[in-house]
Amino acid sequence: MSVDVGTCNAGTCVPPAAKACPKSLICSGKACKTSCDADQDCVSGYICVSHTCYPKQTVIDLPFSASLSGTVTSDGKVSSPIQVGDDASKVQSCGFVSFKISDIPKGAYLVYATFVYTVIKDNGKAYDALGDMVAQKVSYSKLERGSFSLSPSGNVTLFDTVPESSHNDDVSSLLQPEINAGAANLQLRLCFSKASNNDSVANFAQFDMSGEPPVLYVKYQLLPL
């Protein structure tokens, strides 16, 4: 990604080579500015905050794709809504959620990416019975029985474990590579760290898909700090 710089070419006899002004400031007259008072004192793509130039940042909220989100079980059944855990027959359920990220420019720098979702049912105290929930980055064109066994290309542990509440988890490490690659979607498979605790009791967390559906909150900038 090219970055515009401020330049200064002082001198009247033998002009020296142009130089980049430090701290993303522009050249004013024959000298570099030492601080900024307005955005126009900064090079393109930067804004002035407290007399210092910083990269301009953009905040977007990315809703989940309902057609590409739901549940796939270890015995190949596909359903909706998102449900993660096991049932009384020790069949494991993993949830899938997909976000369209094509509006984020390729190569942008993430400030944060927060995955927000609400658990409306914690049957059998799933978080106590099955350990931490893990988000695994996968890729698929539709939900089908084979989605359950896809090989992940990265994962993060979702440490927010309060049941039947709104959850906020950092997934920046999963999203940044997709932005770098210019991917169309970020797709996550959600599973508990234990497939089953073998207690012949259904232990699962069910997500809210309508009142407070999954969303990805993102802040990014086009230039490095």
pLDDT at 4: 54
Q: Are residues 84 and 112 in the same domain?
A: yes
- 8 Å CB contact between 48 and 34: no
Side chain identity, residue 64: F
| CATH code, 109 | 2.60.120
Q: Are residues 182 and 78 in the same domain?
A: yes
In a domain, 1, yes or no: no
Instruction: State the pTM of this model.
Output: 0.86
Q: Are residues 109 and 184 in the same domain?
A: yes
Q: Are residues 206 and 151 in the same domain?
A: yes
Integer Cα distance of 150 and 138 in angstroms: 7
Q: Which residue stretches of the chain have pLDDT < 50?
A: 1-2
Instruction: Centre a 10 Å sphere on the Cβ of residue 73 and count the other Cβ atoms it contains.
Output: 17
10 Å CB burial of residue 217 (0-12, 13-18, 19+) is middle
Residues spanned by the domain of 167? 59-221
Q: Are residues 97 and 195 in the same domain?
A: yes
Q: Are residues 84 and 169 in the same domain?
A: yes
pLDDT at 10: 57
Q: Single out the residue of 131, 120, 177 nearest to residue 154, CA to CA.
A: 177
Q: Are residues 41 and 132 in the same domain?
A: no
Counted domains in the chain: 2
In a domain, 76, yes or no: yes
Give phi and psi for 75, each to the nearest 5. Answer: -100, 15
Q: Are residues 111 and 27 in the same domain?
A: no
Q: Single out the residue of 102, 98, 81 nearest to residue 142, CA to CA.
A: 98
Tens digit of each residue's pLDDT (9 = 90 or more) over 169-197 = 999 999 999 999 999 999 999 999 999 99
In a domain, 117, yes or no: yes
Q: Are residues 41 and 143 in the same domain?
A: no
Q: Are residues 82 and 183 in the same domain?
A: yes
Q: Are residues 81 and 112 in the same domain?
A: yes
In a domain, 168, yes or no: yes
Q: Are residues 119 and 153 in the same domain?
A: yes
pLDDT at 9: 62
Q: Single out the residue of 154, 171, 173, 94 nearest to residue 126, CA to CA.
A: 94
In sequence order, what E strands does 22-91 have? Answer: 27-28, 31-32, 46-49, 52-55, 57-63, 70-73, 78-79, 83-86
